Structure 1
Amino acid sequence: MTALPSAGLIDLDYWVLAPVLAPALGALLVLVVDAIAPRARGLHLPIGLTSLGAGLGALPYSVASATPTRTLCTPGPEGRCFYETGPTGLTLQLIALAASLLVLLMLGPGTRHLDRMQRGGAAVTVALVLAATAGAAMVVAARDLPTWLVAIELATLPAVALVALSRGRGAEGGALSLLMVSLTSFALLAVGIGLWVLATGDASFSTDTLRVAFDYPERHRVLLLAILFLVAGLGFKLSAVPFHTWTPQAFVVADEPIAAYLATVSKAAAVGAAIVVLGPLVSLTAMGRDDADSIRLVVGVLAAASMTLGNVLALRMDDPLRLLAWSTIAQAGWVLAPLAMLTPSAVSASVAYLLVYVLGSLAVFGVTAAVHPRAEGAGGRSLAAYLGLARRSPLLAVVLGLGLLALAGLPPAVVGVVAKIAAIGPVVATGQWWLVAVLVVNIVLGIAVYLRWLLYAVRPAPADAPTTRGERLDPGLLIALLVISAALILLSLLPGLGLGLAR
């Protein structure tokens, strides 16, 4: 693929970088427009949607290459590329950009959320979403340690501001919790990076230097410690147990579309970061070397603990956003379980599951945005609000059903069934039967979690219940729900399409 030279020092291909540059430039343009024309409030959201659409439109340029697409390369035979995207990275960029676009649609246009539920004005909210999305798109392709660390923090810190700007009760406390977790995560990641450089002598995620480090016992131990620190730091981003405590606190105080962003785009960035870290180990395993048993065990235990605790506590929740927070923790376990196997097929299975999880979660969060029209905050929402939903708003009930069934892995949302099978496959192939048993138990627990909510929607409301108002489908929210539903139906009819994207 042709690259554009820049001053003879580094090769740049702006088309390859477009999924990162488009939202970054969009955020800058939104702020410039707001400074020049503060009364032009109607321009901010279209600029955000256009920039995300441009990033999505640039992805086919990289897809056309049969080999990994590289840029930011130093010249010469010993040159290195600091930006590389293969099929997995492109799928993660697709997930991050598309999910962000859908979140912006849920916020506006024509919805109450952007103007009434977020402080600071439309420009600030849109710019923060775009900036975080640029970080999420960058982290999956960064191959040097400093850029990777900056990208993962860029994907996180704007989310803290988005929670703080929500008008829900307790938003400041939720944002403070998320900020403290982000600082702790950054410290762990920084220590892990330092140990990685100490063990490998290399400031990039390279299979060659990793192989050399594994061959020396002293370096081997330091490298394992580095990976454990990196996994712990990313555990906060993934909401994996025991690094999960911020998740319910942040979700319940945020506006529903902002909580949807935390549950989807932020998780896509974290999964991408984890794949970049574990990618060299996957390559070593594919070569027949078994140097990472301890890493496989640690990540597997994190996955098992996350899905089990998440599902058990989600069964006890009455607040829909608190339930979704614990559901996010449980689903993080499902994404981690195949990734823990450190095989190429496991990476594809993890990304395929993430794709289905993001679609299902966006569907459910979109419905909660319609059912709960005010800034209720912590304790202001209840599953009782969904009683009689199927009768008074059939469209919302159908979308909710599709999302919940996809997350549960039940037909007619066949894509959820396929995703569960894809996630279990690498675990079975690797012979980790204890983890297979945990996965099977959590399939049953997950079904109970999501069917419990769905039963509220199909049951009629009590005759003496007050009339429920607020399910007004604003234009942006309606478009988002229709797009999400169409995607879930299409992937259920053609489940191989989702698996093909991940591969």
Structure 2
Amino acid sequence: MKGLTIDYAVLLPALLPVAGLVVVLVADLVVPRGRRLPWAVAGLASLGSAAATLPGLALGGGSTRQSFCLTAGTAAGGSLPRVEGLPQVCFWQADALGSTLQLAAALSAVVCIALAWPRAGRRRPEGGTREPVEAVLLLAALAGTVVVAASRDVGTWLVALELATLPVIALVALSGRRSAAAGATQLLVTSLVSFALLVLGVALWFAATGSPFLTPDAALSSAGSFAATGGPSDVVLPSVSSGLVSLATVLVMAGVGFKLSLVPFHAWTPTAYAGSSVPVAAFLATVSKVAALAALLVVLRAVAVLGTPGVLAIAVLAALSMTLGNVMALRQDDVVRLLAWSTVAQAGWVVLPLVSISALGVAASATYLLTYVVATLVAFAVVAVTLRDQRAGGRTIAAYDGLWRRSPWRAGALVLALTSLAGLPPGVIGLVGKVTALRPVVAEGWVWLAVIAAVNAVIGVAVYLRWLRGVITEPEAPQPAVADGADKTGRGGVAVRRPVVVAGLALSAAVLVVVSVQPDLLLRLLG
């Protein structure tokens, strides 16, 4: 198209996962029985995607890295509406906040790949295709997450968000557990409902603004676009248009609420987590949540310029999610289900600052999401390593009794992760995240919501200390007996030490230690 400019360097965070996906498919044709090669390629592609986001982290003062840009004249002369006051409109815009979300998604994918690393000494049976399929699905979901964080047109935004979601449904179904089918089915049904709400929201946005772009300029044009028709509706239609923008925002919030596990859209979460393998559950809890919030922030940053007042629906969803998530987490003995309900509660904290649809609310929400992602990733990594030691028994809280004696470094990582989620020292970054999340709420005068959040912060402490108490104070839990003739390959019930899995835990724990010691580093990354 004439006038279209593409900067491929800016697109590298998305292009590298796609390239890795293609390489995995080709490699599977050449080495059809390799088990580690697909995951190695996926890990390298994810690392490359993370590295490609680094130039965007230094952006400030509203600067963005842009690609797929059309000049205003080209946009006006073609099928796209002209955006007044801009020399060009861009489908891809990544600023410091967007690049940080992309980096978080890519690094989280690296850790999930490490946790899923296959055992040594075992080859896939002839015709088996599970590892390449899983690697391809993971890379596709990562590519969708990266794209949605930088997309600025409704078509790319919607397609990328679904690309970040649908492969994860297949990953849940492929987990091999009996409950995986139920979790995948629930996730698929809720995703279809979510997609319907998002499409309706996008349609209302286009009807209100006349623009396919999710930008502040398009939102501002909603008041003047109808007056340009020259009809007698110069006074009435602008207010109707603004109302449509507000309704579109609410529908997008509801659609993304399914993906964020907000109450009442959360029902799939405990079933899908419990039915998944630990690496897939970790991917659902981290990368998928980054995709959902990134999609929501694209819309909210566009409408913030209208000075939209606090949205009561967001306040209600945040309060319900925090309360129900914490209460249900208190009743769980399965640590994966506990982390699933923790996700519901933490989702309430993630959207809490968005009662202020402003730059302050957006930055606070992104800050809390990144805090949650790092801490949750460490918790899942500890669970994954523990399962290598104790098999199915590692999913119960009792399996972590005396962990401090068996593995001090693993216990230390779990303590840091759970105290970060609770907002207690030594998890300083969790405390910073909660204070940051409450600032916009107090600034907007939502006193009742701040009180509910404070009460839930106390309940959350009880949730995580219930798990930690045995880790620190209880005697070491007895290990299950090993059957006669069992070897150390994992077939006879004995744990298998996999350095790559341990490396995944070490990487995520190191990031959590850094941001806990220097919490201002995270704030600076977000610009």
> TM (normalized to structure 2)?
0.87
Match of 2:276 among 235, 254, 268: 254
Deviations 1:375-409 (A, max 9, x none): 988x9932111122222222221111111011111
Determine whether 1:460 maps to 2:454.
no
Q: Secondary structure at the match of 1:156?
A: helix
CA 1:380–1:101 in structure 2 vs 1: closer, same or farther (change >3 Å)?
Answer: closer
Determine whether 1:223 maps to 2:245.
yes
How many matched pairs?
Answer: 487
Alpha-carbon shift at residue 235 of structure 1 (Å): 0.4
Find the counterpart in structure 2 of residue 445 from structure 1. 459
Alpha-carbon shift at residue 96 of structure 1 (Å): 0.5
Deviations 1:162-215 (A, max 9, x none): 000001221111111111111111111111111111111111113233234357
Match of 2:357 among 342, 365, 370: 342
Between stretches 256-265 and 417-426, larger displacement belongs to 417-426
How far apart in 1 are the matches of 2:123 and 2:150? 31
Root mean square deviation of aligned Cα:
2.4
Between stretches 64-73 and 394-403, larger displacement belongs to 64-73
Q: Secondary structure at the match of 1:205?
A: coil
Alpha-carbon shift at residue 42 of structure 1 (Å): 3.3
Within 5 Å, which residues of 2 pair with 1:422-437?
422-437=436-451
Alpha-carbon shift at residue 446 of structure 1 (Å): 0.8
Find the counterpart in structure 2 of residue 59 from structure 1. 53
What amino acid is aligned across from residue 222 of structure 1 in structure 2?
A: L
Within 5 Å, which residues of 2 pair with 1:378-457?
381-457=395-471
Find the counterpart in structure 2 of residue 39 from structure 1. 33
Contact 1:87 1:502 in 2 (8 A): yes
CA 1:360–1:238 in structure 2 vs 1: closer, same or farther (change >3 Å)?
Answer: same
What amino acid is aligned across from residue 259 of structure 1 in structure 2?
A: A
Q: Secondary structure at the match of 1:360?
A: helix
Find the counterpart in structure 2 of residue 24 from structure 1. 18
Alpha-carbon shift at residue 470 of structure 1 (Å): 6.0
Within 5 Å, which residues of 2 pair with 1:129-208?
129-208=138-217
Find the counterpart in structure 2 of residue 272 from structure 1. 294
Q: Secondary structure at the match of 2:66?
A: strand
Q: Secondary structure at the match of 2:468?
A: helix
Between stretches 93-102 and 419-428, larger displacement belongs to 419-428
How far apart in 1 are the matches of 2:284 and 2:268? 11
CA 1:470–1:347 in structure 2 vs 1: closer, same or farther (change >3 Å)?
Answer: farther
CA 1:347–1:185 in structure 2 vs 1: closer, same or farther (change >3 Å)?
Answer: same
Find the counterpart in structure 2 of residue 72 from structure 1. 68
What amino acid is aligned across from residue 396 of structure 1 in structure 2?
A: R
Match of 1:263 among 285, 310, 315: 285
Q: Secondary structure at the match of 1:74?
A: strand
Determine whether 1:331 maps to 2:346.
yes
Q: Name stretches of at least 5 consecutive residues in structure 1 with no aligned partner.
A: 1-6, 286-290
Find the counterpart in structure 2 of residue 322 from structure 1. 337
Contact 2:383 2:394 in 1 (8 A): no
How far apart in 1 are the matches of 2:514 and 2:436? 18
Contact 2:57 2:100 in 1 (8 A): no
CA 1:356–1:471 in structure 2 vs 1: closer, same or farther (change >3 Å)?
Answer: farther
> TM (normalized to structure 1)?
0.91
Deviations 1:406-445 (A, max 9, x none): 1111111211111111111121122211111111111101
CA 1:461–1:140 in structure 2 vs 1: closer, same or farther (change >3 Å)?
Answer: same
Alpha-carbon shift at residue 281 of structure 1 (Å): 2.1
Q: Name stretches of at least 5 consecutive residues in structure 2 with no aligned partner.
A: 74-86, 225-237, 483-492
Alpha-carbon shift at residue 472 of structure 1 (Å): 4.8
CA 1:470–1:298 in structure 2 vs 1: closer, same or farther (change >3 Å)?
Answer: farther
Q: Secondary structure at the match of 2:212?
A: coil
Q: Secondary structure at the match of 1:204?
A: coil
Alpha-carbon shift at residue 113 of structure 1 (Å): 12
How far apart in 2 are the matches of 1:474 and 1:283? 51
CA 1:438–1:429 in structure 2 vs 1: closer, same or farther (change >3 Å)?
Answer: same
Between stretches 232-241 and 48-57, larger displacement belongs to 48-57
Q: Percent identity?
A: 43
Within 5 Å, which residues of 2 pair with 1:276-315?
276-285=298-307, 291-293=308-310, 296-315=311-330
What amino acid is aligned across from residue 7 of structure 2 in structure 1?
A: D
Contact 1:264 1:358 in 2 (8 A): yes
What amino acid is aligned across from residue 498 of structure 1 in structure 2?
A: L
How far apart in 2 are the matches of 1:253 and 1:109? 19
CA 1:11–1:331 in structure 2 vs 1: closer, same or farther (change >3 Å)?
Answer: same
Alpha-carbon shift at residue 226 of structure 1 (Å): 1.7
CA 1:108–1:250 in structure 2 vs 1: closer, same or farther (change >3 Å)?
Answer: same
What amino acid is aligned across from residue 33 of structure 1 in structure 2?
A: A
Alpha-carbon shift at residue 109 of structure 1 (Å): 5.7
How far apart in 2 are the matches of 1:474 and 1:410? 32
Find the counterpart in structure 2 of residue 288 from structure 1. none
Find the counterpart in structure 1 of residue 44 from structure 2. 50
Name which one, 1 or 2, has greater alpha-carbon Rg.
2
